[in-house]
Chain A
Amino acid sequence: ETVLTQSPDFQSVTPKEKVTITCRASENIGTNLHWYQQKPHQSPKLLIKYASQSFSGVPSRFSGSGSGTDFTLIINSLEAEDAATYYCHQSNGVPWTFGQGTKVEIK
């Protein structure tokens, strides 16, 4: 089973700051890594697919990078509406797994 470890677990950020979340895989998963945003009491929403491809309708301040075992989600110029928990997800091999989540709070 591929274990995904996100860091940090929690981040408190001022609006307009840059947020960086990392996701490390326990084995090489190529670019089969996706990022989701989940706001309180809502279902997850796809942000970034295949490590770096933006999903339709996602604001351009969200970007992703990485391959192999190390991946990064960047939120440029954080907005208040970005308060959420962010999850990475690997679809490279069964069982599909998720990172533990990173909660982003707005200061």
Chain B
Amino acid sequence: EVQLVESGGGLVQPGGSLRLSCVASGFSLSSYWMGWLRQAPGKGLEWVANIKGDGSQIYFVDSLRGRFTISRDNAKNSLYLQMNSLRADDTAVYYCARLEGGAAPGPFPYDSWGQGTLVTVSA
């Protein structure tokens, strides 16, 4: 069974940093593109970034590039989101999700999602 478990969320002051982790099980992480998405309280879904199975290709939403970094450690079955210079409007549930297509690039949907981890940016 495919499982994605996020962790690392919490309360952080404006300007602070957090690193989110997502541990995958039930499949070979290295064989899949993965992504991070977020959802502000009571709001819709927002795409953050995707990363190729070997980490060699990354796509990021323009508004977060430079403050956020996506990475992965396939040996640890883990995906990461490093978030710096956090602002109040970064407050959201952050989800990691698997892209359906495996290692190939393409316009794939997200076929598995984690339960999410809440990041709250507040003084």
Interface residues of A (CB under 8 A from B): 32, 34, 36, 38, 42-46, 49-50, 55, 87, 89, 91-92, 94-101
Contacts and interface: CB of A to CB of B under 8 A. Distances in A.
Contacts of B59: 94-95
B44 A49 contact: no
A89 B109 contact: yes
- Determine the main DSSP class of A at the interface with B: loop
A32 B113 CA distance: 19
Contact of A43 (B46, B100, B109, B116): B116
B107 A32 contact: yes
Contact of B44 (A43, A87, A95): A87
B95 A97 contact: no
A34 to B, nearest CB: 4
Given A87-B45, A89-B109, A98-B44, 10 more contacts: A36-B110, A43-B116, A44-B45, A44-B95, A46-B110, A49-B100, A49-B108, A49-B111, A91-B108, A96-B50
Given A49-B100, A91-B109, A95-B62, A43 B45 contact: no
B44 A45 contact: no
Contact of A91 (B46, B61, B107): B107
Given A32-B107, A91-B107, A92-B107, A98 B113 contact: no
